Amino acid sequence: MKNFFKNCLLRGTPSMVLALGSGFVMASSADIRAALGMGAAVLISMLLTSIVVSAIHKFIPAYAKLPVYLIIITGFVSIIQMLMQAFFPIVVDMLGAHLAALAVSAVIYRDAEEVADHNGEWHSIKTALSTGLFLTVIMVICALIREILGNATIWGVEIPFLANYKVSALAGAFGAYLVLACVLAAIKKLTGAHEHLEEEDCE
Amino acid sequence: MNIKHLLKTILILLCIVAIFAVAMFGLNFLTGPIIEANNKGAEFAPLLAVMPEAENFEEVTSTLAGVPESVIAIYKETSGKGFVVRAKASTQYSKEPMEITFGITADGKICGIQLDVYTDSIDFRSKDANYIDSYLEKDSALADIGTVSGATYSSTAFKGAVSEGFAALITNSLIAEGVKSDAQILGEMIPTLAPGMLKTEEVAVSGNIEKAWKAGNDAGFAYVVKNGEASFLALVNATGACKVYDVAGADVTDAQSAIADEAKAAASASQKSYTEDLNTKITRLYETATDITPVEVSTFNTVVAAASFKVDGADYYGFYSRSIGFHQMDVYFVIDANGAIAKMDAKQFIFDEEYFGNFGGMDVGAYKGGFEGLTTETWSGEQAVIATATMTSNAMKQSTDDAFAAFNAIKGGAQ
């Protein structure tokens, strides 16, 4: 069990281990609402993509996998974006182009290509869920640090006693790198150094 | 890759695209109206901020006649509570136009106002935090709304944008026009009757004087003076000349000499004299200048001092103009008896050169020399242009126009 969480933490944080998707992690971690929104978008698109890819991968010729998977990912991201625009417009405003850019995210493509393409539905669902959930957790941790200390707000509500002590740099790109680096260091300390992660680790 | 594989691939791609297209098409029926409502809510958010009790808005700009360019959009509150106007205004210090949103109730009074975009280098809100709120409850007359000291241009532009918003509604008979007091009507005449009194600021009053303004460039004073039931506007320029106007804008100086005398007395107590400065400049420009005599000019422009003098028996006139470019400009002209500029000089032409990103410097000697010999016939304004220094160029143009006007007033009485 301990190994499962340790490995899922690493599986679920590809941006930490493989430097994949670190762009949208940083872009989405300035506000907890944005982090949760992006986390949900990643989780759902990854889950749906994995299910579809694992179901149809046998019918797709090897040379056509890249365009087919990208179309599937783009389709699901577009659907999620439409739903979020309708029901969570504030989050869409916060995420801006980064939400649409999920369609070309290496994290989701990697999950589809490396996991769903070689495994059954159940395994793909498990991997997508663990990856998406832990990615969300990491984004929320970063967002908690950056929003509270950088903006002196939580969930967009001002924290009066912190207003005069906020470190504005944390809310910007520099802060995003700094917090990400700290979280990366903490994860490495908790899990030990992992240069390579095998898919089996998460089973 | 054989043709069969290729067709299969194309078919798969088409199927996937078709499935997603159908899914998105269906989803659009559910989310489309919600997204549209969200967008409308975001669009109306600034409108609701100035008219919180509004139920809904409908843009009516295109249905109205005579809407000034400064008015971005006019929205009608659908239940009849009034209108919301979005307007813009620029000053010479603006990087981008300021944008204002204000709500006007059905009875023509401002119920809410906010500044949405502001990029001027001088922020009038920091100089008078209550200035914007002072517009609340005002009708189109905007009674008692002045300008902000130290931010005259931007606060004037702000007021102008609000006035133009009101004008658009009044022109289309959507609200009733507010009634202006005589003092207000007279005060609004100042920029027209005394265009050289720049950056006017209200100052303390005494006696029969109801209101008083001092020109920020020291070009004179303006007073609204009460005489019985009637009010008059008295203008006193920096050389001591005075004119009195009634509310219709007619020159009544001769008939209201008592008012003129009171205004002159009030102005002389506060007016800064530039006569000595001009005299000093003349003697520097012409070491042999004699008979330097101050002259009163009847123009109400940027000329703050004038003098006649002789050089080797020839008559000359010196003028000191204070126009405003990037900062205060102090410009001197010497015009000979034939009306040609003999010399032109200024304390400083270019201020804060670093402000001008592309400013490549200027040949001051050549620039000044370009004015020599110009008469009202040969002066076109182009001679004042300094590349990439528009504000200074405009100020130089105004100063030159004003010097010629002052000369003509002295020589022929015409302005």
Block residue for tokens 């832990």? A134
Residue B347 pLDDT > 90, yes or no? no
Same domain, B242 and B287: no
Residue among B260, B375, B391, B281 nearest B332 (CA): B281
Task: Outline where A88-120 has alpha helix (H).
Answer: 89-95, 97-100, 106-110
Span B135-150, pLDDT tens digits: 999 999 888 888 887 7
Q: What is the mean pLDDT of chain B?
A: 88
* Helix-, strand-, coil-residue percentages of chain B, each rounded to 5: 35, 25, 40
Block residue for tokens 């994860």? A187
Q: What is the distance in angstroms between the Cα of A154 and the nearest Cα belonging to chain B?
A: 23
Domain count of chain B?
4
User: Does residue B321 fall inside a structural domain?
Assistant: yes
Last residue of a domain, one of B130, B152, B171: B171
Please provide residue B259's backbone torsions phi and psi, each rounded to the nearest 5 degrees: -65, -45
Q: Which residue has the higher pLDDT, B122 or B289?
A: B289
Residue in B closest to A63 by C-alpha: B9
pLDDT for A6: 61
DSSP string of A40-77, one letter each residue = HHHHHHHHHHHHHHHHHGGGS-GGGHHHHHHHHHHHHH
Tens-of-pLDDT digits for all 203 residues of chain A? 566 556 655 555 554 555 566 777 788 888 889 889 888 988 898 888 888 888 888 888 888 788 888 888 889 999 999 999 898 888 888 888 888 887 777 777 777 777 767 777 788 788 888 888 888 888 888 899 999 888 888 888 888 888 788 887 888 888 888 888 888 788 778 776 555 544 444 44
Last residue of a domain, one of B110, B140, B171: B171
pLDDT for A185: 82
Taking the C-alpha atoms of residue B132 and residue B254, their distance in angstroms, rounded to an integer, is: 41
Q: Which two tokens stand for residue B352?
A: 């804060």
Taking CB atoms and an 8 Å cutoff, what residues of chain B touch A74? 20
User: Does residue B2 fall inside a structural domain?
Assistant: yes
Give this complex's ipTM: 0.72
Q: Which two tokens stand for residue A76?
A: 């699901």
Q: What is the distance in angstroms between the Cα of B49 and the nearest Cα belonging to chain A?
A: 18
Residue B343 pLDDT > 80, yes or no? yes
Same domain, B66 and B42: no
Chain-chain contact of A79 with B27 (C-beta, under 8 angstroms): yes
Q: Do residues A46 and A111 lie in contact, with contact meaning Cβ atoms separated by under 8 Å?
A: yes
Q: What is the mean pLDDT of residues B333-351?
A: 88
Taking CB atoms and an 8 Å cutoff, what residues of chain A touch B6? none
Residue among A137, A155, A135 nearest A147 (CA): A155
Q: What is the dihedral of CA B140, B146, B147, B149, to 10 degrees?
A: -170
Please provide residue A169's backbone torsions phi and psi, each rounded to the nearest 5 degrees: -60, -30
Domain that holds residue B208: 182-270
Instruction: Say which residues have a Cβ less than 8 Å from residue B357's Cβ, sequence separation at least 6.
Output: none
Taking the C-alpha atoms of residue A100 and residue A104, their distance in angstroms, rounded to an integer, is: 8
Q: What is the mean pLDDT of residues B175-191?
A: 88
Span B355-378, pLDDT tens digits: 555 566 678 888 889 999 999 999
Residue B2 pLDDT > 70, yes or no? yes
Residue among A44, A170, B177, B101 nearest A162 (CA): A170
B415 band by pLDDT with thresholds 50, 70 and 90: very low
Same domain, B358 and B241: no
Q: Do residues B49 and B43 lie in contact, with contact meaning Cβ atoms separated by under 8 Å?
A: no
pLDDT for A96: 81
Q: Which two tokens stand for residue B332?
A: 């001197």
Block residue for tokens 């549209």? B36
User: Does residue B407 fall inside a structural domain?
Assistant: yes
> What's the whole-model pTM score?
0.58
Chain-chain contact of A78 with B38 (C-beta, under 8 angstroms): no
Same domain, B297 and B382: yes
Taking CB atoms and an 8 Å cutoff, what residues of chain B touch A61? 5, 8-9
Chain-chain contact of B20 with A75 (C-beta, under 8 angstroms): yes
DSSP string of B308-335, one letter each residue = EEEETTEEEEEEEE--BSSSB--EEEEE
Q: Is B80 exposed, middle or buried (0-12, 13-18, 19+ CB in 10 A)?
A: exposed
Chain-chain contact of B38 with A79 (C-beta, under 8 angstroms): no
Same domain, B318 and B370: yes
Interface subset of A 66-105, CB within 8 angstroms of B: 67-68, 71-72, 74-75, 78-79, 82-83, 85-87, 89
Same domain, B242 and B315: no
Chain-chain contact of B24 with A87 (C-beta, under 8 angstroms): no
B94 band by pLDDT with thresholds 50, 70 and 90: low
Q: What percent of chain B has pLDDT over 90?
A: 55
Q: What is the mean pLDDT of residues B105-134?
A: 86
Q: Which is it for strands B314-321 and B303-311: parallel, antiparallel or unpaired?
A: antiparallel
Residue B84: CB atoms within 10 A of its CB come to 27
pLDDT for B204: 86
pLDDT for B315: 94
B42 touches chain A (CB under 8 A): yes
Highest average pLDDT, of A194-203, B262-271, B388-397, comes from: B262-271
**Could you tell me how far CA B66 lies from the centroid of its own chain?**
21
Please provide residue B294's backbone torsions phi and psi, each rounded to the nearest 5 degrees: -60, 140
The single-letter DSSP state of residue B46 is: H
pLDDT for B330: 93
Taking the C-alpha atoms of residue B100 and residue B117, their distance in angstroms, rounded to an integer, is: 7
- From residue B289, alpha-carbon distances to B294, B315, B344 in Å are 14, 10, 16
Angle between helices B3-50 and A65-87 (to 10 degrees): 20
Taking CB atoms and an 8 Å cutoff, what residues of chain A touch B35? 82, 85-86, 89
User: Does residue B176 fall inside a structural domain?
Assistant: no
pLDDT for B93: 67
Last residue of a domain, one of B171, B199, B232: B171
Q: Do residues B47 and A99 lie in contact, with contact meaning Cβ atoms separated by under 8 Å?
A: no
Q: Which two tokens stand for residue B337?
A: 């008896």
